[in-house]
A and B are shown apart, each in its own frame.
Chain A
Amino acid sequence: MTTTVADHHHDEVPKGITRWLFTTNHKDIGTLYLWFSFIMFLVGGSMALVIRAELFQPGLQVVDPLFYNQMVTVHALIMIFGAVMPGFVGFANWMIPMMIGAPDMALPRMNNWSFWLLPFAISLLILSLFVPGGGPAAGWTIYPPLSVQGGMGVDLTIFTIHILGMSSILGAINIIATIMNMRAPGMTLMKMPLFIWTWVITAFLLIAAMPVLAGAVTMLLTDRHFGTAFFDPAGGGDPVMFQHIFWFFGHPEVYILILPAFGIISQVIPTFARKPLFGYTSMVFATAGIAFLSFIVWAHHMYTVGMPLSGELFFMYSTMLIAIPTGVKIFNWMATMWRGSMTFETPMLYAIATVALFTVGGLTGLMMAITPADFQYHDTYFIVAHFHYVIFCGSVLGMFAGVYYWLPKWTGHMYDETLGKWHFWLTIIAFNVTFFPQHFLGFAGMPRRIPDYSLQFAEFNVISSIGGFVLGFSQLILLVVVIKAIRGGKKASAEVWENPEGLEWTVPSPAPYHTFATAPEVK
């Protein structure tokens, strides 16, 4: 890499708070996103602990039912829109330019804006908990008629969703523009790292799905205040239609949450198996296939609303079809590890755990795809167990894998491997202690989103609550690991790992403020 005089001038890192407020540097913005995501992860996690404290024993002890419902709703909204989505955008900001050999994102100022929308949006959501009537309490799906009836908190939630949607759409536009226009010479589409592929597909999903959600909540808003009757049955509207529109967004949304994690572990596994990724082309097509299918399966979230048999069959078969591209991915990761020279550093442990535990969530998903079976599972703790296995074990563990994998590149220091392993084992064990028993609770008929339960569910709930608290507090280890790595530690080499693939390993660690001012040549 050649550096010019002009580059040296730019290498001065701005100081103070204005650096972060006005930054257009992709690494700074990535850092902001990642910290924001982590803080939201802890905030949303604390709300989960309120839920688990209440469910520790039957009866009502800790919070009143309305507040419990608010916790359930806001926990989900914060984790989805505040922790997981911004977290992956943070990875995208940090890694995409470095992985495709670009000096920065395509639209740096818009990048700054899309981050700074987030704190305001989330503040509105948290504010909603303190207004008369409290926060949203209808679940993150904000189904009418309940959400038409709620207080001012629901309006604040609607505005939150508008702003968050705007932020992620801007982020997605930026990511697509970067990947389409800014690749280093020689990096053809089919030479892009898989993380880039999964993100460009995710960005298209965002652009197609988020505006539909924005439309749905706008209709909700006008139903509440401006006399329209899209969903309000009092005016001839139809609440079930909201479910259709919501899940038309909602199902692509779950792939928005998971695909970037697939991308991260597709980078991590080859490095620690010391083999190139098995079946690269099939991985790309499987990702695109999952993205396409995500738009035609939405009604499997609402089998019990009274659909005709033909509808149920269509959504059942199309949903089961998703198992094929997902299976392709799972087997490709396994084939990558097969006979590799594997070592088990923390990122690799997390990547393997993602593959193994996401598969558990995927299989329960397949069970729920079966319409008659779903009539039993619907709105029970089985569903809660299922989506925590996919979102925590898919998205969040994938993100942890990414944090440990790239942390030396970001900070220039190796993280503390011992603490990393503690974090891993505590997280994995506590997670399973928390959520595995919820499968049984669901089978036995414990409904979700209810603060009280019958006596026969008590034992599994105790186990689940204990696991939940261990899981929650274990995440503080990650905070310690990250702070330690920022402050010092063993110097990381440019490559960090043993012959990892990708342009990000050709720049020094920590990555300089400006990288690839001159595009590298990709052979």
Chain B
Amino acid sequence: MTESFRQKSNRRVAGWLSLWVVGMFGFGYALVPLYDIFCEITGLNGKSATLTEVSAKPLEIDRSRTVTVEFAVNVSGIPWEVDRPETVRLKVHPGESMTVTYAAHSLTDALSAGQAVPSVSPARAARHFRKTECFCFTRQELAPRESKLMPVTFVVDPALPEDVKTITLSYAVYPAKDIEPANS
């Protein structure tokens, strides 16, 4: 065991451990897509890929059940007023396609753009709540003082668990960033 041998092996250990550190830093970032995938698969967290999915064949309407859908919206950091649909609570049969309309009003004298981020609760219902048309799919631009109607068309999948009687669809409207819109 000479001194130089020991130094070499110290450096080797340090090298391997540093690689590990870099790997763990990368793992931190890898958690982001992993988290999204996990949420998509399980439909947790109110976001789900199936939200945007347009089903090929129309779903069968289950007239024996009624589900109450509630609508909510709040605005953050952008000079807009957004009204929820006139019917705040809507009774629907699973499989039935419905359209409701939100209304946005710009309160500024400048051009403004907003992005709505939807969220569905309870989380278990998220994967069964399908939006076929939504103002949240793209960023919304409003001219100065413009008002705009923003429709949402949705259908509740009949596969929704029996015990879910009420679903809340809530939007948060933020100033649009120059990035991809939310994938839901």
Query: A308 touching B175 by the CB < 8 A rule?
Result: no
Query: B17 touching A176 by the CB < 8 A rule?
Result: yes
Interface 1/0s, chain B 33-73, versus A by CB < 8 A?
A: 00100000010110100000000000000000000000000
- Bound form: Cα–Cα A308–B41 in Å: 13
Within 8 Å CB of B109, what residues of A? none
Report the interface size for chain A: residues with CB under 8 A from the other chain.
Answer: 40
- Bound form: Cα–Cα A180–B174 in Å: 53
User: Does chain A have a CB within 8 A of B152?
Assistant: no
User: Does chain B have a CB within 8 A of A352?
Assistant: no
Query: A248 touching B10 by the CB < 8 A rule?
Result: no
Interface residues of A in 135-183 (CB under 8 A from B): 169, 172-174, 176-177, 180-182
Interface residues of B in 107-159 (CB under 8 A from A): 115, 117, 121, 123-124
In whole Å, how far is A330's beta carbon from the nearest beta carbon of chain B?
Answer: 31
Within 8 Å CB of A182, what residues of B? 6, 10
- Bound form: Cα–Cα A233–B181 in Å: 11
- Bound form: Cα–Cα A491–B21 in Å: 45
Query: A169 touching B21 by the CB < 8 A rule?
Result: yes
- Bound form: Cα–Cα A230–B35 in Å: 11
Interface residues of B in 148-184 (CB under 8 A from A): 172, 174-175, 177-184
Query: B183 touching A236 by the CB < 8 A rule?
Result: yes
Within 8 Å CB of A209, what residues of B? 24
Within 8 Å CB of A233, what residues of B? 117, 172, 174
Q: Which of A173, A208, A234 contacts B18 (CB 8 A)?
A: A173
* Candidate in B47, B76, B177, B180 with the most chain A CB atoms within 10 angstroms: B177
User: Does chain B have a CB within 8 A of A238?
Assistant: yes
Query: B181 touching A236 by the CB < 8 A rule?
Result: yes
Interface residues of A in 55-110 (CB under 8 A from B): 106-107, 110
> Given A181-B9, A227-B177, A308-B124, are A240 and B24 also a contact pair (CB < 8 Å)?
no
Within 8 Å CB of B45, what residues of A? 238, 240, 306
In whole Å, how far is B94's beta carbon from the nearest beta carbon of chain A?
Answer: 21
> Given A236-B115, A236-B180, are A207 and B20 also a contact pair (CB < 8 Å)?
yes
* Candidate in A182, A234, A308 with the most chain B CB atoms within 10 angstroms: A234
User: Does chain B have a CB within 8 A of A221?
Assistant: no
- Bound form: Cα–Cα A229–B177 in Å: 9
Interface residues of A in 183-222 (CB under 8 A from B): 207-216, 219
In whole Å, how far is B137's beta carbon from the nearest beta carbon of chain A?
Answer: 12
> Given A229-B179, A244-B35, A308-B42, are A207 and B28 also a contact pair (CB < 8 Å)?
no
Within 8 Å CB of A483, what residues of B? none
Query: A177 touching B76 by the CB < 8 A rule?
Result: no
Query: B177 touching A176 by the CB < 8 A rule?
Result: no
- Bound form: Cα–Cα A233–B174 in Å: 8
Within 8 Å CB of B47, what residues of A? 238
Within 8 Å CB of A181, what residues of B? 6, 9-10, 13
Within 8 Å CB of A307, what residues of B? 44
Q: Which of A176, A211, A234, A244 contacts B13 (CB 8 A)?
A: A176
In whole Å, how far is A140's beta carbon from the nearest beta carbon of chain B?
Answer: 18
Interface residues of A in 227-277 (CB under 8 A from B): 227-230, 233-236, 238, 240-241, 244-245, 248
> Given A106-B10, A215-B28, A227-B178, are A234 and B17 also a contact pair (CB < 8 Å)?
no
> Given A233-B117, A235-B174, A236-B180, are A306 and B25 also a contact pair (CB < 8 Å)?
no
| Interface residues of chain B: helix, strand, loop or mixed (majority) | helix
Q: Which of B25, B180, B182, B183 contacts A212 (CB 8 A)?
A: B25
- Bound form: Cα–Cα A117–B117 in Å: 42
Within 8 Å CB of A110, what residues of B? 14
> Given A176-B13, A234-B76, A308-B124, are A211 and B32 also a contact pair (CB < 8 Å)?
no
In whole Å, how far is A514's beta carbon from the nearest beta carbon of chain B?
Answer: 15
Query: B17 touching A173 by the CB < 8 A rule?
Result: yes
Interface residues of B in 1-33 (CB under 8 A from A): 6, 9-10, 13-14, 17-18, 20-29, 31-32
Query: A245 touching B31 by the CB < 8 A rule?
Result: yes
In whole Å, how far is A249's beta carbon from the nearest beta carbon of chain B?
Answer: 8
- Bound form: Cα–Cα A136–B13 in Å: 37
- Bound form: Cα–Cα A64–B35 in Å: 38
Within 8 Å CB of B27, what residues of A? 211-212, 215
> Given A181-B10, A234-B175, are A306 and B123 also a contact pair (CB < 8 Å)?
yes
Query: B28 touching A245 by the CB < 8 A rule?
Result: yes
In whole Å, how far is B124's beta carbon from the nearest beta carbon of chain A?
Answer: 7
> Given A212-B25, A240-B45, A308-B123, are A234 and B6 also a contact pair (CB < 8 Å)?
no
Within 8 Å CB of B21, what residues of A? 169, 173, 207, 210-211
> Which are the 4 A-B pairs with shortest beta-carbon distances?
A215-B28, A236-B182, A234-B174, A211-B24
User: Can you list 24 A-B pairs, Cβ within 8 angstroms, ordered by A?
Assistant: A106-B10, A172-B17, A173-B14, A177-B10, A177-B13, A207-B24, A208-B20, A211-B21, A211-B24, A211-B27, A212-B24, A212-B25, A213-B28, A215-B29, A219-B28, A227-B177, A235-B115, A236-B117, A236-B179, A236-B184, A238-B35, A241-B35, A307-B44, A308-B44
